[in-house]
Amino acid sequence: MPQYSPGDVVLAAFPFEDTSDTKPRPVVIIEAYPDASYSCMITGTNRSHLDKGFWILKDSDDGKAMKLKKDSFVNANRCTEIKNCMIFKKMGECPFIEKLERLINE
């Protein structure tokens, strides 16, 4: 099984808030453990007025490094542990991982 590192952007089965269902979506790995990772959700829904995070344009340098397919919001309020077996593939790298970690820890 591949090992992941903080800052990796991966496609993973991310759990919904209110159910046990999951949805494949890109996430940023914040902390990596042997069998799981603490990850932050990336969404196409603009929640910047409700949640702390970063709006990333897909054609920006950050969006290209993360290999985003559409303009996306990195939601620092939606982080959870994801088992490595729920990660489908690595997509790219988050160039602002330190800034994201500081925002999560505020």
CB–CB of 79/17 below 8 Å? no
Q: Could you report the average pLDDT of every consecutive run of 10 residues in the chain (106 residues)? A: 89 80 92 94 81 93 97 93 94 96 92
User: Which domains, ranges and CATH numbers included, belong to the chain?
Assistant: 8-94 (2.30.30.110)
pTM of the model: 0.91
> What Cα–Cα distance (Å) separates residue 43 from each residue in 1, 38, 59, 72, 105?
26, 17, 16, 5, 20
Strands 22-32 and 36-43, by their bridges, are antiparallel
For residue 10, the model assigns a pLDDT of: 97
Q: How far apart are the first and last CA of the chain?
A: 33
For residue 14, the model assigns a pLDDT of: 87
